Amino acid sequence: MPSYTVTVATGSQWFAGTDDYIYLSLLGSAGCSEKHLLDKPFYNDFERGAVDSYDVTVDEELGEIQLVKIEKRKYWLHDDWYLKYITLKTPHGDYIEFPCYRWLTGDGEVVLRDGRAKLARDDQIHILKQHRRKELETRQKQYRWMEWNPGFPLSIDAKCHKDLPRDIQFDSEKGVDFVLNYSKAMENLFINRFMHMFQSSWNDFADFEKIFVKISNTISERVMNHWQEDLMFGYQFLNGCNPVLIRRCTELPEKLPVTTEMVECSLERQLSLEQEVQQGNIFIVDFELLDGIDANKTDPCTLQFLATPICLLYKNLANKIVPIAIQLSQIPGDENPIFLPSDAKYDWLLAKIWVRSSDFHVHQTITHLLRTHLVSEVFGIAMYRQLPAVHPIFKLLVAHVRFTIAINTKAREQLICECGLFDKANATGGGGHVQMVQRAMKDLTYTSLLFLGMYPEEHFIEKPVKEAMARFRKNLEAIVSVIAERNKKKQLPYYYLSPDRIPNSVAI
């Protein structure tokens, strides 16, 4: 009688193991096996992280194995199980891998195909076509669209994290409590006793120094010593978390009536401002998006304000970016002067602080929330609804969108909802952040959708694909060493584009 060896790998995350009964059936081109209980006597099967092997003898020849069916049945209380993969050694000595990487909950079952990537047109056999269709039908029932707010990208239809399909929930929900993390961050910053500073105005620039009382490293020290300087402002703009707003200025906009005379002392090439523009040395950041957005009014004791600055940046002879002119709102006029480095020290400093403040709001709400989180969720839901696990694009994408929907659901629960953290902490809270997303959605494009990183799951089993992945990883390693080498010479090393420092972002 034909005999198979079945190897079953259980996930290593918390609670991945199970004490439930696990049954296996094999569906081949020539027939189907009986249901086999996978159980080794005097052995605790399917423990967290375990890789267990079982001999399964079948009554007749099954032909080529098309599907492996796994069923979980209650032993005592339902015990969820995370199955990583199954490997089958056939009577001919061939090995076939069946990637799963899914939870089985309740009286759950899963039918797996081997890990070769297949398009719909590759499936000629009826049971494979049917398997593909059924998988999508099930997923479309689980992963439904919802419009959280009018004009927002569509999101998952779930009120809270625990309503999500188990496969896209966090392994440990605790680590992602924004409210908890916020308090913890405050504690870590040792600023509980300075909390009142966030509720009211700062009295002195010296207050700012107290924030860093517990954080001391070369970077914080350097920032502390130089944050008021134009060079540091330009450096932080270019190397900070939101350089995407900086545009090369090809023509000075009418709404910013700045002249050569005004910026003369900043220009280093003995050229007029127009000539500097033509040579590509002038850059512009326009926070027009914030124009007309309501400032946070949720706390009547704390008045909040928003500016809509336009900031002109200059690439100087040392190839550094420095600010040379700032107008704090969009319509020029006597009430809206253009601030310059030649102005009184604190006027110029305050203008720069308003630019940083506006940059924070646009970064958090548009660059970060909308263009990374919310947009990725759209791709995630579409992937689950439209692509079966055997589809090559599913195999490529699934690792990239892992936890994307979960973190967004958490954000809608605690961060951007009414009375959420945005309302408490941001000047755009209380609805301004919603208006910003709605406005930005009108000219959203397919840019900024690049992901990088590493995941251990291997959904592909073909040799050429594995080789391509190995090559790509090697390329990433090369980038890591180039960055490491470059950093050796830097007084302020920066790693944020280094692939090894980008967690949860690259699968292959």
Residue list for the binding site for Ca(2+): 17, 39, 79-80
SS3 69: strand
Q: DSSP letter string over 144-177?
A: -EE-SSTTSPPEES-SSGGGS-GGGS-S-GGGG-
Non-local (6+) Cβ contacts of 314 within 8 A are: 263, 266, 267, 276, 281, 282, 283, 321, 322, 323, 324
Is the Cβ–Cβ distance between 323 and 230 less than 8 Å? yes
Task: Estimate to the nearest angstrom the gap between the alpha carbon of 478 and the chain centroid.
Answer: 24
**Angstrom distances, CA of residue 82 to CA of 43, 97, 136, 238, 457:** 19, 16, 20, 43, 13
Task: Check: CB of residue 107 under 8 Å from CB of residue 72.
Answer: yes
Which residues are annotated binding-site positions?
Answer: 17, 39, 79-80, 368, 373
* Rounded-to-integer distance, Cα 448 and Cα 401, Å: 15
Whole-number Cα distances in Å, 255 to 85, 266, 348, 354, 467: 61, 21, 20, 18, 54
The closest of 145, 98, 54 to 458, measured between CA atoms, is: 98
Q: Which residues are annotated as a binding site for Fe cation?
A: 368, 373
Other residues' Cβ atoms within 10 Å of the Cβ of residue 376:
20
C-alpha 425/C-alpha 278 separation (Å) is 42
Between CA 248 and CA 253, with CA 249 as vertex, the angle to 5 degrees is 150
